[in-house]
Structure 1
Amino acid sequence: MEKELIDRLAIRDLIENWAVWRDAGDWERFATVWHDDGVMMATWFQGPARDFIRVTQEGWKKGVSILHFLGGSSIDLAGDRAIVQTKMTISQRGDVQGVLCDVVCTGRFYDFVEKRDGRWGVVLRQPIYEKDRVDPVDPSVRLELDRKALAEFPVGYRHLAYIQTQIGYTVKRDMPQLTGAEVEALYARGAQWLAGEKL
């Protein structure tokens, strides 16, 4: 029981460090939350964690502003493996058709984590996108969105995809949302991971 409690505390610490160190630009420590084969999935990037760190740094230099806020976590623990779901918001500030805006997306981080050589690390991070919105930073400014273009994106991250496309990113359009085949497949993959299967 004591070992399980220590593992749960270490896992929660890992998840919180991810958000704090990434958003602070503490790249050396941010790299330590991942295992060497770690993979990051996001609307605008899918691939190895080391490449995610690099492209995030490049985005910072271009003025891309994406921040994260965490809520509660649920940890399903199975020996040296765990699935961690953490409530979160993604907040991105940027130009939308000449208007400075904030897009806020609410969802969950769904993390595949593993303890290797006594250290917990992220093997795969897959966000689940539940709902989002866009607001001008100056509420007196009128924002006119292209409704047809907006409707082409998945409902759970429609506004986030819209702003990311506006600044030049290619957005993945089949990410898990609150319901649907993609999130059900993710849950099944998580159960297989906890049962000892490979990703």
Structure 2
Amino acid sequence: MTDTSRALQDLLDKQEIREVVLRYCRGIDRLDFALVHDCYHPDGIDHHTGFDGNVDEYIAWVQPRLEVLGGTMHHVGNHLVELFGDVAISEAYSTNTHWGHPDRGDFTSGARFVDLMERRQGRWAIAERWAVREWTRSDAGRMTSPEAVGPRGSRDESDVLAHLRSRIANRH
């Protein structure tokens, strides 16, 4: 492989890995647990605050915790990917807002997703994830109502993303 083709393949691999992280965030925020599950290899492991186990156990653990919330929004910032052939280390900084929690109220946390990614059968996915919580801040009393009428997010098929995806899919 030439230096140019190696550099191009590295860029493609890094983009695919970044998209795994972004799909995970979309899945969590939209309560699309099939999408979250697809971000992991079948034997993938997850380490979260209050949880350690395989991907199936993680979904079973996180789903009821998210469904009681009014919503979540995960923002990915700095994201560095280090490639080692078919293995990579992905470190993505994130700021995660949670609202409508029946016990804790509204809160925001800063975290890093430190992932061991592996390419298996041509597909990059999480082999092991550490969701490293760096800080948590209470947002109690800080959330306000929207300032005007307009699109609002939902975590079901009525969300604008679901409508748009359906509209595009029906064209093809």
Q: Tell me, yes or no, whether TM beats 0.5.
A: yes
Partners of 2:69 and 2:25 in 1: CA distance = 19
Partners of 1:59 and 1:132 in 2: CA distance = 17
Query: Of the candidates 41, 52, 59, which is equivalent to residue 46 of structure 1?
Result: 52
Shift of 1:73: 0.3
Q: Does 1:8 align with 2:11?
A: no
Query: Gaps spanning 5+ residues in structure 2: where?
Result: 1-6, 144-172
Q: Secondary structure at the match of 2:50?
A: coil
Query: Gaps spanning 5+ residues in structure 1: where?
Result: 140-199
Contact 2:49 2:132 in 1 (8 A): no
Counterpart residue number, 1:133? 137
Greater share of strand:
2
Alignment CA distance shift 1:45-1:64 (3 Å): farther
The alignment's TM-score, normalised by the length of structure 1, stands at 0.62
| Paired residues, number | 136
Counterpart residue number, 1:69? 75
Q: Does 1:119 align with 2:118?
A: no
Alignment CA distance shift 1:23-1:109 (3 Å): same
Q: Percent identity?
A: 26
Shift of 1:8: 0.8
Shift of 1:56: 2.3
Alignment CA distance shift 1:58-1:37 (3 Å): same
Counterpart residue number, 2:40? 34
RMSD of equivalent CA atoms: 2.1
The alignment's TM-score, normalised by the length of structure 2, stands at 0.70
Amino acid across the alignment from 1:126: W
Q: Secondary structure at the match of 2:127?
A: strand
Shift of 1:63: 4.3
